[in-house]
Amino acid sequence: MANDELRPNVGVLAEHFSGERRVALVPADVRRLTKLATVTVERRAGAGAGYPDEAYIEAGATITDRLATVSSASVVLSVRAPSDLSSFQPGTLVVSLGGRDEEVARAVSARGLKHLGLERLPRTTRAQAMDVLSSQATIAGYAAVIEGARALDVLLPMLTTAAGGVKPAKMIALGAGVAGLQAIATARRLGAVVHGFDVREAAREQVESLGARFVSPGEALKAQDAANGYAADQSADEQAALRRALAPTLAQMQLIVTSAQIPGRAAPLLIDDEVLARLAPGTVIIDLAAETGGNTSRTEPGETVTTGGVKIIGSVNLPSQMAADASRLFSGNVRALLEHLIPEETSLPLRLDDPIIAALLGADPTLRTAA
């Protein structure tokens, strides 16, 4: 049995980021983690996602205010990187998103904190259970189709009624990574005629295995699979050729879900003004790349822009709209990460030199000094 005084104290914060309803750890995972650590939760941290304080207490956590949570914790969990770092003890390990944000990196290092930036997780089989980008992208892909279906003024499925028939809507996912594939699966379940496209050749089989048609823009497409499973960056000429080649297919669609991204870069422009002008009025585009610049020339993050009868919805943080399940999956990932980080023998230090943890620490200067 672990000696309580030697256990790490894990603190769970309420989110301050505008519109963020998720929580980093749900009560079911608190219960599991109490075998390894003491868990302190900021009051009402789970309220926005439907997890009341009582559920945390029942799972073995202590509820307190933010200051007490932060000052007692050696590991602080948050969905978004916290901005009130002055109350954190130097040396605290902060586990959150923000791993690609230079401002976050500067702030944590100025305060002498260590940051496990969840976006920096290596995409290896070992790390898969800890992959919040995948779990949250799955929810975003599902939510995008639900949002798109609501915004369309046509139905997705084929219907035959006494009053006449309804043709199924045509949908395409541009970008068939984790989010795009889930959008394809969801649109299929809702009865649309579904297409998919990605610059990675490996995506063809995945799109087809979901029963969707993979669109081949022929000569315009050079396969762009990078060694790390992500797409390689494309030149401006390649992107322009791709836009021209995709336009005739896009002109036939009613729902377009875009999620094309290159990690650390601006999102590729797949739909410019010229392509927009060719789309049928009534077409709805859900742009999941809105936060990294958008896949269309008119995307505004968090806004709906209508041009020539085409609605472009710059979706941001869709997982937060489905906060209960999004939190449950996020929390499962974080719990797997903490089980990897915290040795069962509580007198041992946290495993900061493990390859997965070292990658999450990324360019953290504190680690470089220590190494």
Positions marked active-site: 123, 128, 131, 134, 230
234 binds ligand NAD (CB under 6 A): yes
Q: How far is CA 290 from the centre of its chain?
A: 12
Stretch that binds ligand NAD, among 35-43, 80-88, 191-199, 342-350 (CB under 6 A): 191-199
Give CA–CA dist 102/99, Å, rounded. Answer: 8
Stretch that binds ligand NAD, among 38-46, 93-101, 109-117, 227-235 (CB under 6 A): 227-235
263 binds ligand NAD (CB under 6 A): yes
Give CA–CA dist 304/143, Å, rounded. Answer: 16
Question: Is-contact 62 39, C-beta < 8 A?
Answer: yes
Q: Closest CB to ligand NAD among 53 and 272?
A: 272
Q: Closest CB to ligand NAD among 53 and 291?
A: 291
Give CA–CA dist 162/233, Å, rounded. Answer: 52
Give CA–CA dist 205/222, Å, rounded. Answer: 17
Give CA–CA dist 356/347, Å, rounded. Answer: 21
Question: Is-contact 107 128, C-beta < 8 A?
Answer: no
Binds ligand NAD by CB under 6 A, chosen from 134, 138, 186, 320: 134
Binds ligand NAD by CB under 6 A, chosen from 78, 138, 261, 320: 261
| 51 token code pair | 């997890």
Owner of token pair 């680690």: 367
177 binds ligand NAD (CB under 6 A): yes
230 binds ligand NAD (CB under 6 A): yes
Binds ligand NAD by CB under 6 A, chosen from 128, 209, 216, 252: 128
Owner of token pair 């499962």: 332
* Chain residue whose CB lies nearest ligand NAD: 177
Q: Closest CB to ligand NAD among 192 and 215?
A: 215
**Residue 63's beta-bridge partner residues?**
41
98 binds ligand NAD (CB under 6 A): no
265 binds ligand NAD (CB under 6 A): no
178 binds ligand NAD (CB under 6 A): yes
Q: Closest CB to ligand NAD among 131 and 364?
A: 131
Q: Which of 61, 79, 70 is nearest to 113 (CA)?
A: 70
Binds ligand NAD by CB under 6 A, chosen from 15, 29, 42, 131: 131
Binds ligand NAD by CB under 6 A, chosen from 15, 29, 42, 198: 198
Q: Which of 81, 48, 127 is nearest to 334 (CA)?
A: 127
Question: Is-contact 30 39, C-beta < 8 A?
Answer: yes
Question: Is-contact 314 107, C-beta < 8 A?
Answer: no
x/- binding map, residues 294-313, to ligand NAD, per CB under 6 A?
--------------------
Amino acid code (one letter) for 260: A
Q: At what angle do helices 178-189 and 202-209 cross, to 10 degrees?
A: 20
Q: Closest CB to ligand NAD among 154 and 230?
A: 230
| C-beta atoms surrounding 158 within 10 Å | 13
Q: Which of 53, 51, 50 is nearest to 40 (CA)?
A: 53
Stretch that binds ligand NAD, among 29-37, 123-131, 160-168, 187-195 (CB under 6 A): 123-131
Give CA–CA dist 7/343, Å, rounded. Answer: 10
| 30 token code pair | 């608190």
Stretch that binds ligand NAD, among 14-22, 184-192, 223-231, 298-306 (CB under 6 A): 223-231
Q: Closest CB to ligand NAD among 66 and 204?
A: 204
Q: In angstroms, what is the minimal distance from the CB of 224 to ligand NAD?
A: 7
Q: In angstroms, what is the minimal distance from the CB of 261 to ligand NAD?
A: 4
Rule CB under 6 A: which residues touch ligand NAD?
123-124, 128, 131, 133-134, 137, 174-180, 197-200, 203, 229-231, 234, 242, 259-263, 268, 270
